Amino acid sequence: MASGKNCGRLQQSLALQPVASPYREGSRMTDNYAARDLATIAHPYANLATLPDQGPVVMERGDGVYVYDSAGKPYLEGMSGLWCASLGFSNAELVEAAREQMARLPFNHLFAGRSHDPAIALAEKLKDMAPIPVSRVFFCNSGSEANDTQIKLVWYMNNALGRPNKKKIISRQRAYHGVTIASASLTGLPGNHADFDLPIAGILHTACPHHYRYALEGESEEDFATRLANELEEMILREGPDTVAAFIAEPVMGAGGVIVPPAGYFEKIQAVLDRHDVYMIADEVICGFGRLGEMFGSQALGMRPVSMSLAKALSAAYMPISAVLIPERMYQAMVDESRKNGAFYHGFTYSGHPVAAAVALKTIEIYERDDIVGHVRKVAPLFQQRLREFTEHPLVGEARGMGLMGALELVADRATKTAFPAKAGVGAMFTRYAAEEGLIARSLGDSMALCPPLIITESEIDLLFARLAIALDRTTVWVNSTLK
């Protein structure tokens, strides 16, 4: 990691050249893919006003923890795509599992009692390995759909139980639970609500458990956790316990900035929920399947959820699939409502798609056979050590993380924790420099997130942080010359 003195030398050598756009004149990307992309695709989570000037980065292939763009440049994929490509980008067994299933039964649905072996076997496996009692498994296609389904099932259950007013769902500020209308309402990020007319009624947001950013001066982690639990209880009492149905939480918050909760947080939160008969839902979309050094993030953080949402690493991202783990009380309510209404009127064409289910089964087999959780436990200490080496960097306010998940929060003033102005684009500049150095990271505001494939080796971790150090120092040079 470069010191401030090294940053000065770096500033001279770089001569403050503007960051090169990946939209390169004369390359195959410009001549073919990029122009076609810009003429046809509406990109999610992109500034659509500036994208034509920058151009897209078109990826052509993957190998292990690397992806290669259409100009042939390799990038160490420090984000597993979007927190999801847990087994990297070239697992032949997953490709073959998809091919075999596609050749045998490329599609069937689960509507009206139809079924197929991959969905049955996957549901059995998830029930067997879940750290909570599970009655049934409901399949969806994304984390957003799974969390949307969670809301519908909570409402459905309470109607069946004769509790029509117990419908409010409490999420947290800076949480991320998806982008459908209901799941985006759970999401506690302003950008996901602005001008979409969200959140919908009945969705509440309690405080974010980020000690660095929101603790009072001198407040310990335990005292901070106690205060947040008290604030949650005050919210439930203010709304009326008979109106509050559920609380949803990620074990470690992902897109909100890789926020690891303070010590004792979930134990204190659970006590509040128990007192008021409020159902805890664990959003395991990012943390599930080994990311935090346990098979499920709930185990790593001491959560006691009643239900779970699974996605992303469920299939190592090789096929879209997600799952809701349903407790017995909820399933019996679903049965009662089916008896009343004639059917359970919820589902998706591709719920439990046979190819996706077959790939998910093979993914879980690989996790268990190759002891992927054990591998994460082996390499995570190095990952976290290298991450925290940046704690004293002049641009870093906090280095935080757990397992193979981490973030660096960039600040304008370390002593006061003052953030950069949002429009300064410091995080975006860092990710551009990182890409130039052959590293894919993600800026969540000014928190620089990392979530590499679970198969990453110690030497690849060292390379990841070597590239990150250069990108961070280049960002410091840019900040000092542009914003100060």
Residue 440: burial class (beta carbons within 10 Å; 0-12, 13-18, 19+): buried
Region 207-211: what's the mean pLDDT?
Answer: 98
**Together in a domain, 345 and 424:** no
Cis peptide before 118 (omega within 30 of 0): no
CB 23 within 8 A of CB 31: no
**Together in a domain, 357 and 377:** no
pLDDT band at 8 (very low <50, low <70, confident <90, very high): very low
Pick from 372, 436, 456, 445: nearest CA to 14 = 436
State the pLDDT at residue 23. 38
Q: What is the 3-state secondary structure (H, E, C) of the chain?
A: CCCHHHHHHHHHHHCCCCCCCCCCCCCHHHHHHHHHHHHHCCCCCCCCCCHHHHCCCCEEEEECCEEEECCCCEEEECCHHHHCCCCCCCCHHHHHHHHHHHHHCCCCCCHHHCCCHHHHHHHHHHHHHCCCCCCEEEEECCHHHHHHHHHHHHHHHHHHCCCCCCCEEEEECCCCCCCCHHHHHHCCCHHHCCCCCCCCCCEEEECCCCHHHHCCCCCCHHHHHHHHHHHHHHHHHHHCHHHEEEEEECCCECCCCCECCCCCHHHHHHHHHHHCCCEEEEECCCCCCCCCCCCCHHHHHCCCCCEEEECHHHCCCCCCCEEEEECHHHHHHHHHHHHHHCCCCCCCCCCCCHHHHHHHHHHHHHHHHCCHHHHHHHHHHHHHHHHHCCCCCCCEEEEEECCCCEEEEECCECCCCECCCHHHCHHHHHHHHHHHCCEECEEECCEEEECCCCCCCHHHHHHHHHHHHHHHHHHHHHHHHHCC
CB 253 within 8 A of CB 174: yes
**Together in a domain, 293 and 171:** yes
- Among the candidates 351, 369, 387, a domain finishes at 369
pLDDT band at 28 (very low <50, low <70, confident <90, very high): very low
Lookup result for tokens 């052509």: 60
- Among the candidates 342, 369, 396, a domain finishes at 369
pLDDT digit string (tens) for 301-328?
999 999 999 999 999 999 999 999 999 9
The pairing of strands 322-326 and 244-249 is unpaired
27, pLDDT greater than 80: no
**Together in a domain, 63 and 156:** no
228, pLDDT greater than 70: yes
Number of compact structural domains in the chain:
2
In a domain, 459, yes or no: yes
Pick from 319, 314, 287, 316: nearest CA to 303 = 287
Least reliable range by pLDDT among 17-26, 142-151, 232-241 = 17-26
**Together in a domain, 431 and 462:** yes
In a domain, 97, yes or no: no
458-482 vs 372-388: helix crossing angle, rounded to 10: 30
- Among the candidates 334, 354, 369, a domain finishes at 369
- pTM of the model as a whole: 0.92
- Return the CATH number at 468: 3.90.1150.10
State the pLDDT at residue 54. 87
State the pLDDT at residue 147. 98
Tokens of 304: 């006691």
252, pLDDT greater than 90: yes
pLDDT digit string (tens) for 44-59?
999 999 999 989 999 9
Region 162-184: what's the mean pLDDT?
Answer: 98
**Together in a domain, 264 and 386:** no
Mean pLDDT across the chain: 94
**Together in a domain, 298 and 181:** yes
22, pLDDT greater than 90: no
In a domain, 290, yes or no: yes
pLDDT band at 2 (very low <50, low <70, confident <90, very high): very low
43 Rama class: left (phi>0) / alpha (psi -120 to 50) / beta: beta
**Together in a domain, 155 and 271:** yes
Instruction: Give residue 171's domain range.
Output: 105-369
State the pLDDT at residue 452. 98
CB within 8 A of 96, min separation 6: which ones? none
In a domain, 453, yes or no: yes
Region 136-146: what's the mean pLDDT?
Answer: 98
Region 349-360: what's the mean pLDDT?
Answer: 98
pLDDT digit string (tens) for 59-77?
999 999 999 999 999 999 9
**Together in a domain, 138 and 156:** yes
